[in-house]
Amino acid sequence: MTDARALDTLADFPAIPAGWSYLDTAATSQKPQPVVDAITRAYGETYATVHRGVYQRSADMTLAYEAARTRVARFIGAQPNECVFVRGATEAINLVAHSYAGTVLKPGDRILLSMLEHHSNIVPWQMVAERTGAAIDVAPLDREGRIDLDAMAAMLRPEHKLVALSHVSNVLGSVLDVARAVELAHGVGARILIDGCQAVARLPVDVAALGCDFYVFSGHKLYGPTGIGVLWGRAELLDAMPPWQGGGAMIDRVSFERTTYAPPPGRFEAGTPHIVGVLGLHAAIDYVDGLGLGAIHAHEGALVARARDALGRINSVRLFGPDSSAGIVSFAVEGVHPHDVATILDEGQVAIRAGHHCAQPLMAALGVEATARASFGVYNGPQDIDALVKGVERVTRIFG
């Protein structure tokens, strides 16, 4: 196991003061100085609109905007014309649900999800199922908290037209064997969408190698700005999908009699885009790639191992998920509500998440209302785990 101190990046993050342990990266990551600088520069020195102006600064910003799309594509092993900029993974999933699933599903068709999905990968499919007459099935988890692919294989049949699964659980940190899930879905003719929000900042992602049909993620969990995310889709699928929203930029020609639309990805980017967010995302990807996703995964794996070992020694602590989780540790303290755990930890300058984590069906399956969750980033080290454990021990003393 790589030493958890191998990444010495804390000085890169101006929003993390000395003595504060930020352990809520699964909710949103802190931003390194190069990302802050890129955003500041874009608003303060180089700002202009894109795809519209013929003056030089607008042309330069357009080049920078499209260079970011090329950078995103390279980051996930895709082609630029397959990468659509959206507000985040939630919008990306809604786009696919509306523009793809909403146009191909019919009564009798089925959608397959899993028990550990985020609400954003449940509710859009419920909405489209209600509209089209499709039905939803739910794959269970195995004993370690991973999606049970053997059970999924037994459930799948030709009526399934779409499968949507998380690459990494935002609660358990369990990692999906995407290649096998894709093989199973394609085996019955279903398309498969992968929610990569928790994966792209922790694991190398190559959509071509994974073989999925759609892949989505949010920039703010990748050390980038809020309000920007990416939908990747196979070119032939995007080409066949109608627009989701109408307005400027997504058109070819407009008349009152008829409107024709731009090819993807422009077809799905109505209105003035989040220009500065795109440039910030470019800087974030450069930062992460500079550290190396292999090194990040090993670093966070070492932190997970240290945290699970230390918390597991406290008799009243229950751990959830597999030992080999990707950067996330969920736990409960017997007899103490997770919100109280989080409040006491905050008094000791340790920031964690407490609640259902937008995964209420998973909470029900685990038999709890909520959990406490510590999630790690490149800025964390052993001192943060020590502070976490010290705080949990204080919780047990306070509540007896």
| pLDDT classification of 204: cutoffs 50, 70, 90 | very high
- What is the C-alpha separation between 233 and 265, in angstroms, rounded? 10
Task: Measure the CA–CA gap between 1 and 303, rounded to whole angstroms.
Answer: 10
Q: What single-letter amino acid sits at 52? A: R
- Does pLDDT of 5 surpass 60? no
316 and 185 in a single domain? The answer is no
**3-class DSSP state of 309:** helix
Query: Do 55 and 199 fall within a single domain?
Result: yes
Are residue 357 and residue 369 in the same domain, yes or no?
Answer: yes
194 plus 223 within the same structural domain? yes
pLDDT at res. 126: 98
Does position 114 have pLDDT exceeding 70, yes or no? yes
Give the burial string for 6-26 (b: 16+ CB within 10 Å, else e).
Answer: ebebbebbeebeeeebbbbbb
* 95 shares its domain with 153: yes
Q: What is the average per-residue pLDDT within 20-35?
A: 98
Is 44 inside any structural domain? Answer: yes
- The set of catalytic residues is 358
Averaged pLDDT for residues 349-363: 98
Let me know if residue 280 belongs to a domain: yes
Q: How far apart are CA 349 and CA 259, in angstroms?
A: 56
> CATH code at 62?
3.40.640.10
Give the end of a domain, one of 247, 268, 289: 289
143 lies in some domain: yes
Domain boundary among 235, 255, 289: 289
Predicted confidence at residue 4, as pLDDT, reads 45
285 and 342: one domain? no
What is the domain range of residue 22?
10-30+292-398
Mean pLDDT, the chain, as a whole number?
96
Flag whether pLDDT at 1 surpasses 50: no
> Can you give the pTM of this predicted structure?
0.97
Name the pLDDT band for 8 (thresholds 50, 70, 90): confident
Residue 318 is predicted with a pLDDT of 98
Q: Are residues 92 and 125 in the same domain?
A: yes
The verdict on residue 5 lying in a domain is: no
- How far, in Å, CA of 211 to CA of 233, rounded? 11
pLDDT value, residue 53:
86
Instruction: Confirm whether 2 is domain-assigned.
Output: no
User: In the prediction, which pLDDT does 400 show?
Assistant: 82
To which H or E segment does residue 131 belong?
helix 123-132
Q: For 176-185, how does the pLDDT look when each residue is reduced to its tens digit (9 = 90+)?
A: 999 999 999 9
- pLDDT score of 2: 40
Mean pLDDT calculated for residue range 302-311: 98
Residue 343 has pLDDT above 70, yes or no: yes
Could you tell me which residue, 358 or 52, shows the higher pLDDT? Answer: 358
State percent of the chain over pLDDT 70. 98
Has residue 314 been placed in a domain? yes
Do residues 133 and 146 both lie within one domain?
yes
Please tell me whether residues 225 and 254 are part of one structural domain: yes
Whether residues 299 and 354 share a domain: the answer is yes
Same domain, 228 and 120: yes
Contact 171/362 with Cβ under 8 angstroms?
A: yes
Give the total number of structural domains in the chain: 2
Q: Which of 233, 256, 289 is the last residue of a domain?
A: 289
* Segment 217-243 mean pLDDT: 98
Indicate if 255 and 339 belong to the same structural domain.
Answer: no
State yes or no: pLDDT of 27 exceeds 80. Answer: yes
- CATH number, residue 363: 3.90.1150.10
| The pLDDT value given to residue 6 | 57
Would residue 284 count as lying in a domain? Answer: yes
